[in-house]
Amino acid sequence: MKLWTQAENDLLASNLTDERVAEKTGRTPAAIRGKRQRMRALALKKLSSPAADAPATAESETTPTTFEQDKENVGATHWKREYDSLYGKYQTALKQASVSDQLVELAASLAPKSYDPRPLVAQSPRGAGSNQSAVLLLSDTHVGQVISPDQTLGFGGYNFATFLARLKRLENAVTSILQDHTTTDTDELVVCLGGDMIDGALNHGAEAKQKNTLFCQFYGAGHALAQFIRNLSAQVPKLRVKCVVGNHPRWQNQHKMPTDNRYSNLDAFLYAYIQALTKDLTLVEWTLDKQPFSLFDVQGFLFHLSHGDHLRGGDKALGIPNHAVGRMVSSTNQLYGKHNQASPHYYLLGHMHRGIVLPHARGSVIVNGGFPGLDGFGLMNGFSPVDPSQLLFFVHPKYGKTATYDIALKFADTDAPAPYEIPGEFDCV
């Protein structure tokens, strides 16, 4: 083991750092620190002993230490520093806890006495509040469309029997909500037929054949929807039906939806047929017109109903035509403002087969779901898959749109017997 020379001892006694002394002597910083600690301990011992004034021998000053001794000394220094650090943090934590306790005690001392429990409040009788109207969006049933599971990765499936089952589930859900979920009386039910009620004769793929004839679609949808409206009309004092046509039931020679005579459409024929089938229902009020948009009032709020195929672009995956919606609201506000009339509060649409709600200054833009669910067109275009659904909400005379129900149709019992009777010979698949 290398002995400590006098020159090294002089460097150890200087003000140089351990690292600088290590550089000059060729020893490690740890060895320098250990040697200096021993020198300080020896100096303290001399001061405290009777023979403190006696000169130290060169041998005592230069007695070498072992590696284990140096290692032990370095370790002791490290843990001393860790202890000092933790002790400081512990003292800080004690001070903070003390301050928190004092604040809690002060807040408790300033608080009043504990409040006594309130007596039980008697439940208000049903109908004690303002009456409301219910609005049902019914669109995109696509009666006649056939979706095969073996062409949609096993995830899709739709046909006429599925339509009937889902329509019955919708009827049962609306009935349950009107009877059991509301705390006020419902003045009326407004049924908004938003178009694409039948699938028509057009296809996204030119080679795809028509699965169900137009007569089959028209006749089956007409009788099923007439019974649906008849059954719901028994739940409310009045049922109003508002209609717009969709883009699917347009005539086969029309490449796109026309801007003139838009009402000349198989949806319009279907509505007239259902109106005829329900003509003896005195509580049902129909509105059939030639306008591309249906405008009507519910509890003092103006509604704007359209199919929604006039809105294009936007986010393809989410199916939200942001810019087109903005243009529609802006241009409609300008149109009404030009004629010194209040613009619509609520815009109701279908077409996109997914529930969307977008707010605007006077209300909101509300997009309805659809009946079919995933089909080949949506699958191949990468649209986000959404479950079949329809929308019901209430309208208050002061607060506007209130309680809202997204009615899921995927839980319909397709194995149950047909819920609606289609008279005569009928072979729609």
Residues in the chain: 429
Confidence category of residue 77, pLDDT binned at 50, 70, 90:
confident
Q: Is the pLDDT of residue 23 over 50?
A: yes
The pLDDT mean for the chain works out to: 87
What the block records as the tokens of 102 is 């004092």
Q: What are phi and psi of 48, to 5 degrees?
A: -90, -10
Query: How confident is the model at residue 119, as a pLDDT?
Result: 80
Q: Is the pLDDT of residue 394 over 70?
A: yes
DSSP characters over 389-422: EEEEEEEETTTEEEEEEEEE-TT--TTSPPSS--
Enumerate the domain spans of the chain.
6-80, 132-408
Alpha-carbon span 428 to 236, nearest angstrom: 32
Q: Is the pLDDT of residue 128 over 70?
A: no
Bridge pairing between strands 363-367 and 356-360: antiparallel
Least confident span in 85-94, 160-169, 391-400: 85-94
pLDDT digits (tens, 9 = 90+) for 317-367: 677 888 999 999 999 999 999 999 999 999 999 999 999 999 999 999 999
What the block records as the tokens of 306 is 């359209």
Confidence category of residue 18, pLDDT binned at 50, 70, 90:
confident
Query: Higher model confidence: residue 413 or residue 319?
Result: 413
Domain 132-408 sits in CATH at: 3.60.21.10
Q: Is the pLDDT of residue 58 over 50?
A: no
Q: Is the pLDDT of residue 187 over 50?
A: yes
Least confident span in 7-21, 190-204, 381-395: 7-21
Query: How confident is the model at residue 109, as a pLDDT?
Result: 78
Q: Which are the contacts of 373, defined by CB distance < 8 A and separation ≥ 6?
A: 147, 156, 157, 158, 385, 386, 387, 388, 410
Predicted TM-score (pTM) above 0.75: no
Mean pLDDT for 404-414 is 97
Query: How confident is the model at residue 52, as a pLDDT?
Result: 47
Query: How confident is the model at residue 280, as a pLDDT?
Result: 96
